[in-house]
Structure 1
Amino acid sequence: MSDVEHETASVFLFARFGTSWRFCLISRSRVGGQLAAGGHVEHGEGPQQTAVREAREEARLLAPLPPAGYPYPVAPTAWHVAEIPAAADSRCPHRHLHRDHIFIGVADRLLHPVAEPNTPSTGCPPQTCWTSRSRATPW
């Protein structure tokens, strides 16, 4: 493994569809599967700002961290930090390490609160999938 380390952030987004909760996965052709919204921390931003920006860019949703009305004090830290081996990409020509700051968010979906997942009315890009735990593909 390379000595190169990149700071990244991911956000597991949850939204209510009718009476059930679903979570958001983004198709990633480069890795051949689906992952949470996320990406590299840009110059001048922290991991929490990166998580919100990536939720906006990849799922086209606002994801308050934590959700509005959350009754407990919040520390400005990630839920978990994982060190993940990464393949060569546009930022590094060889294998390297991503230090991924993982956040949890609740998507604001007030326009279509009872829409079915993956329908045009959700307003999500085609690579976005809202799925339930029972439909999720295990790693």
Structure 2
Amino acid sequence: GLVIVALVVFVEQSQRRIPVQYAKRMVGRRMFGGTSTYIPIKVNQAGVIPVIFSSSVLYLPSLISQFGDPEDGWVQWITTYFTAGDHPIYMIAYFLLTIFFTFFYVAITFNPEEVADNMKRYGGFIPGIRAGRPTERYLSYVL
């Protein structure tokens, strides 16, 4: 029990730090920039949202089956496989939906194109990777 909690906390808190450097700029007589920072990309960006979506989607068949006749075959099938929650078909569907919603949620919330454009606008770059489209592809790959 305690090992699982420790592993969950470790994965939840872990992140990949992508180094970003900002070029030096002259504004008038003053020098600005030249700083080095990083973009923290969490390993689990979606958090618990995919689990909530998956459980909600898997609850819909049993909710709909409550309006049907208990003698119907489809109502019995849903009651057998989706109401208990411990059937292998239910577990596989829950796992696959969680994976799907994880990718879906991250694709919607993290926009590599926008991050790359903002970095380029403010003179930032990832060492070894050109600004603009190559940065966008690199962020998509890391994500």
Question: Please, what TM-score do these two structures have when normalized by structure 1?
Answer: 0.22
Whose helix proportion is higher, 1 or 2? 2
Structure with bigger RCO (C-alpha 8 Å, 6+ apart): 1
Whose strand proportion is higher, 1 or 2? 1
